[in-house]
Amino acid sequence: MAMIEEMERSGNWLFRWRSFLPLVLYVLAVIVMVGGWDRQLDHRDLTWIVICLVVSFFGLLIRALTIGFTPAGTSGRNTKEGQVAEVLNTKGIYSVVRHPLYFGNYFMWLGIIMYVGSWWFTIVCSLLFWVYYERIMFAEEAFLRKKFGGSYLKWSETAPPFFPRWTNFKPSGVPFSFKNVLKREYNGFFATFISFGMIDVVKNYMDYRVFELDFLVSPFWLYAIPAAFVVFIVLRTLKKKTTVLNVKGREFNA
C-alpha cells in the first residue's frame, strides 16, 4: 500500500477511535506519577493550578468559539460512518486555521498534562498528540479535497492546518450560539475538571498515602469539581429531557 493510502487509512481509523485517546494519556500520566518522575512542579501550588486551568480553558474557549459560530453540516461527529460534510466552512475561525477543534483539543489537554508536573512528559505528550492528530487531519483533508476540489485547495492556500494565521480572519456570517456551546461542550468541561482531580488524587496518594483531594492545602478542587458536576448534570438534563438548548438550523456535528 502506498504511503498516501496508508496515511489516509490509518487516519480514518484513528478518527473513528479518537475519543479513546484520553485513556492512553491517563495511563501514561499515572505511570509517570507512580514512577516519581513528576517532581519538577508542585501540584499543591494554587498559582500553578490556575496556570494549568487557564491553559485548558483556552482550549475550551477555542472549541466554544468554533462550535458557537459554526453552521450545521460542516463536519462529522460520528465514529462509525467516517467523514461527513455537506458544506465547506471557510469563514469565522475556519478562515484562520483548518482544524480549530484539534487546536483547541491540544491546549485543553496541555493544561492537564502540565499539571502532572513533568516538563519532559509534557513535551513527549505534545509530540504524541501531533503524530496522532496529523494522520486524522490528513484523512479529513483527503476527504474534503475529493469532495470540494478547487474550493478546498483555494481555502488551504490561506488557512494553515493547525497554527492559526489570525490576519486572515473573515466573519462567520452567523450569530454566536451560546446554547449550541452548552449543548455540545458540557462533557469536555466536566472531563477537564475530572482529569485534574484524578491527577490530584494520585499525587496525594503517592505523597501521603491517602485518597483525597487537596490534602493539607487549599480546598480548591473540593469546591471546583462538585460545582462542575452540578453544571454537568443540569446541562445533560436540559439536553436529554428538554428542548431548551436546541437551536434551529444550527445542529453541529463536529
Q: Is the pLDDT of residue 3 over 70?
A: no
Q: Is residue 81 part of a domain?
A: no
113, 192 contact by CB (below 8 A): no
Question: Which DSSP letter does residue 80 get?
Answer: S
Q: Is residue 254 part of a domain?
A: no
> Which residues are CB-contacts of 125 (< 8 A; sequence separation ≥ 6)?
25, 28, 109, 113
pLDDT bin (cut points 50, 70, 90) of residue 148 is confident
Report the chain's C-alpha Rg in angstroms. Answer: 20
Q: Is residue 196 part of a domain?
A: yes
Return the C-alpha torsion angle 56, 59, 64, 69, nearest 10: 170
Predicted structure pTM score: 0.86
Q: Over the stretch 241-250, which tens digit does the pLDDT of each residue have?
A: 998 988 876 6
Query: H helices of 209-219, where?
Result: none
Q: What are phi and psi of 92, to 5 degrees?
A: 65, -140
CATH number of the domain within which 170 lies: 1.20.120
Query: H helices of the chain, where?
Result: 3-16, 21-34, 46-69, 100-116, 119-148, 150-156, 178-208, 220-241
Q: Is residue 225 part of a domain?
A: yes
148, 69 contact by CB (below 8 A): no
Q: Is residue 237 part of a domain?
A: yes
Q: Over the stretch 4-62, which tens digit does the pLDDT of each residue have?
A: 777 777 777 777 777 777 788 889 999 998 888 877 676 677 788 889 999 999 999 99
Grid coordinates standing for 206?
503517592
Averaged pLDDT for residues 155-182? 89
Distance (Å, whole) CA 32 – CA 28:
6
> Which residues are CB-contacts of 218 (< 8 A; sequence separation ≥ 6)?
46
* pLDDT attached to residue 124: 93
Query: Percent of the chain having pLDDT more than 70?
Result: 85
The total number of structural domains that make up the chain = 1
Q: What average pLDDT does the chain have?
A: 83
Domain that holds residue 125: 3-73+87-241
Averaged pLDDT for residues 65-73? 81
Q: What are phi and psi of 14, to 5 degrees?
A: -65, -35
Q: Is residue 168 part of a domain?
A: yes
Q: Is residue 82 part of a domain?
A: no
Q: Is residue 80 part of a domain?
A: no
